[in-house]
Amino acid sequence: RKEVEQDPGPFNVPEGATVAFNCTYSNSASQSFFWYRQDCRKEPKLLMSVYSSGNEDGRFTAQLNRASQYISLLIRDSKLSDSATYLCVVTKTGGGADGLTFGKGTHLIIQP
Amino acid sequence: ETGVTQTPRHLVMGMTNKKSLKCEQHLGHNAMYWYKQSAKKPLELMFVYSLEERVENNSVPSRFSPECPNSSHLFLHLHTLQPEDSALYLCASSQRGIGFWGTDTQYFGPGTRLTVL
């Protein structure tokens, strides 16, 4: 089983719609979770951290489900500028070569 | 943005060449990272430097050699690479150091797109 799995998509979504995608992880010792956004031929940039209680930043909501070992990202009222690849990152305190793992990313395309 | 810079941005090299990638962070961070991003694969963590500690991914071939002369600079020395090493090499930094690297926001440089002929 892969350590961090994401549906690669692409998700084709009309502008203004709500879209959600998940990321599952296999290491139950994982402690920190993030969503990064990567635009085409650009570097990844942090979108938001994911806290145990869930968190919201404007149109974006992130949630963590430890029991089922997944995190989710919900985007409301999607904009054309939301088109990007969304990377899930899972880490565990203490590092180690396996301490930080990226998913392959979910490709989102917002259509006018 | 000039938080994390990388040079060169593009590099084409033959399999017998020796080259180096450079990364510099201007954020006062305590950890620096090298990643490899290949098409259709997730970002792969290659090396981490956290203050005096170096952590490496054991699957990285020895033809890749990192160097961290100080907390602001990171190099990746390349020699006798293979065509399958062609990829985007990303450098990143984060505030937290030993024991906590990877647990906070990482700031990425623009990357070096490497092509090995």
CA distance A50 to chain B (A): 11
Residue A81 carries which DSSP code? Answer: G
Question: How do A106-111 and A11-14 pair as beta strands?
Answer: parallel
A17 in contact with chain B, both atoms CB, cutoff 8 A = no
* Confidence at B58, pLDDT banded by 50, 70, 90: confident
Cβ distance of B108 and A44 shorter than 8 Å: yes
Cβ distance of A95 and B102 shorter than 8 Å: yes
Instruction: Say how far apart CA B103 and CA A32 lie, in whole Å.
Output: 6
Residue A22 · residue A86 · CB < 8 Å:
no
Cβ distance of B43 and A102 shorter than 8 Å: yes
How many helices (H) and strands (E) chain B has is answered by: 0, 11
- Provide, as residue numbers in chain A, all residues whose Cβ is less than 8 Å from the Cβ of B55: 95-97, 99
Q: What's the pLDDT at B52?
A: 65
Q: What's the pLDDT at B78?
A: 96
Q: What's the pLDDT at A33?
A: 93
Residue B15 identity (one-letter amino acid) = M
Measured in degrees and rounded to the nearest 5, phi and psi for residue B84 equal -70, -5
Identify the residue among A100, A106, A107 best suited for mutation to test binding to B, counting B beta carbons within 10 A and taking the highest. Answer: A100
- Provide, as residue numbers in chain B, all residues whose Cβ is less than 8 Å from the Cβ of A104: 40-42
Q: How many CB atoms lie within 10 A of CB B116?
A: 19
* DSSP secondary structure letters along B54-101: EEE-TTS-TTEEEEEEETTEEEEEEES--GGG-EEEEEEEES--TTTT
Cβ distance of B45 and A97 shorter than 8 Å: yes
Cβ distance of B102 and A32 shorter than 8 Å: yes
**Residue B1 pLDDT > 60, yes or no?**
no
Per-residue pLDDT of chain A (112 residues; tens, 9 = 90+): 568 999 999 999 999 999 999 999 998 888 889 999 999 989 999 999 998 888 999 999 999 999 999 999 999 999 999 999 999 999 876 666 667 889 999 999 999 9
Nearest to B90 among A43, A49, A91 (CB): A43
Mean pLDDT, range B69-83, rounded to an integer: 94
How far is residue B52 from each of residues B30, B44, B77, measured CA to CA in Å?
Answer: 10, 22, 19
Cβ distance of A46 and B101 shorter than 8 Å: no
Q: What is the pLDDT of residues B12-26, one digit of tens each?
A: 999 888 999 999 999
Instruction: Say how far apart CA A16 and CA A76 lie, in whole Å.
Output: 7
Q: Specify which residues B50 forms β-bridges with.
A: B31, B53
CA distance B82 to chain A (A): 23
